[in-house]
């Protein structure tokens, strides 16, 4: 087009006879047409290529967006990991490492989390009832079980400790004192890992808790602690959740340190999960040095101690 305009521009100022004008006009016309044809071809290529690239880019962006949206990972986990605040630091770190995933957490008791896994309503589980977890994998519902971290359970209660639990030598003695005094005890009663541990501890102490003093409320760990605080009752809790919420509670630790209070957490990708690759990536990351490092320092700055101890093998 620049050539055509230049040629046309040069011809405008000339004084020529009709014959010369005719010849010049024909020459210019032919040259201009040829130039326009060549330029048009180039223009056509440019016009065709640009939209194609734009369309391809837009299509790629749409595909990428759709892939991210389709890559949700559903994590069924205990309420203790949620209420302890661990996910507030763990999930952002995971998603920074794996930006193609969006993690959605269903915080329930371990028993309910295992059921969600059986029904394939979750992709991966983060739970704390080792015997039930191993059975889950043995029955084919999980691809593998990997140890992630541990902390411990503690018994908390009123500061004045009406049952004298602090004087007990171990956790069985603590529960015996609570039962003998018929001091109010709040149980989760939700088939969670904490509830399973509590039932096992009562059994080990040869006590079957029953009566008005013992109340199963069917709630998560955070809510059970709030209920126990309001009613000035005893309860069993994981240490992490208690420490994270203790400023809002009127409860103290009255029994701790018994080896029977050990609390191990495991991660299990669900067999044939909707997002099995995402589940495996989550399990691999949380047991990797990077994931274990996030767990190791959580709580140190605020509480002077880690709330969980990483122990992936």
pLDDT, tens only, 187-246: 999 999 999 999 999 999 999 999 999 999 999 999 999 999 999 999 999 999 999 999
Which helix (H) or strand (E) segment holds residue 193: the answer is helix 193-204
Mean of pLDDT values over 46-67: 37
Decide: 288 and 149 in contact? Cβ < 8 Å: no
Q: At what angle do helices 18-70 and 2-11 cross, to 10 degrees?
A: 160
Whether pLDDT at 6 is above 70: no
Residue range 247-301, pLDDT digits in tens: 999 999 999 999 999 999 999 999 999 999 999 999 999 999 999 999 999 999 9
Decide: 255 and 171 in contact? Cβ < 8 Å: yes
Q: What is the pTM of this model?
A: 0.76
CB atoms within 10 A of CB 209: 18
Task: Using alpha carbons, select from 251, 247, 197, 200 the residue that is nearest to residue 225.
Answer: 251
The separation between the first and the last C-alpha atoms of the chain, rounded to the nearest angstrom, is: 71
């Amino acid at each position: 087009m620049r050539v055509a305009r230049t040629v046309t521009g040069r011809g405008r100022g000339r004084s020529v006879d009709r014959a010369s004008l005719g010849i010049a006009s024909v020459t210019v016309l032919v040259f201009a047409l040829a130039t326009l044809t060549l330029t048009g071809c180039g223009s056509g290529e440019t016009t065709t290529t640009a939209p194609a690239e734009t369309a391809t880019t837009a299509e790629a962006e749409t595909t990428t967006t759709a892939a991210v949206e389709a890559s949700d990972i559903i994590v069924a986990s205990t309420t203790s990991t949620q209420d302890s605040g661990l996910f507030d630091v763990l999930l952002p770190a995971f998603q920074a490492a794996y930006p193609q995933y969006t993690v959605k957490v269903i915080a329930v008791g371990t028993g309910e989390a295992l059921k969600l896994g059986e029904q394939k309503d979750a992709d991966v589980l983060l739970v704390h009832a080792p015997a039930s977890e191993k059975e889950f994998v043995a029955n084919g519902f999980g691809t593998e079980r990997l140890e992630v971290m541990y902390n411990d359970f503690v018994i908390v209660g009123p500061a004045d400790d009406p049952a004298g639990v602090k004087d007990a030598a171990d956790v069985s003695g603590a529960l015996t004192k609570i039962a003998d005094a018929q001091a109010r005890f709040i149980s989760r009663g939700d088939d969670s890992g904490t509830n399973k541990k509590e039932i096992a501890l009562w059994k080990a102490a040869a006590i079957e808790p029953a009566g008005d003093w013992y109340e199963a409320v069917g709630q998560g760990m955070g809510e059970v602690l709030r209920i126990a605080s309001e009613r000035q009752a005893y309860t069993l809790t994981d240490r992490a959740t208690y420490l994270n919420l203790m400023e809002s509670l009127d409860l103290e630790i009255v029994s701790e340190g018994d080896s029977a209070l050990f609390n191990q957490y495991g991660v299990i990708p669900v067999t044939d999960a909707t997002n099995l690759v995402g589940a495996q990536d989550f399990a691999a990351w949380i047991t990797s040095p990077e994931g274990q490092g996030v767990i190791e320092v959580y709580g140190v700055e605020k509480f002077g101690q880690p709330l969980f101890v990483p122990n992936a093998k």
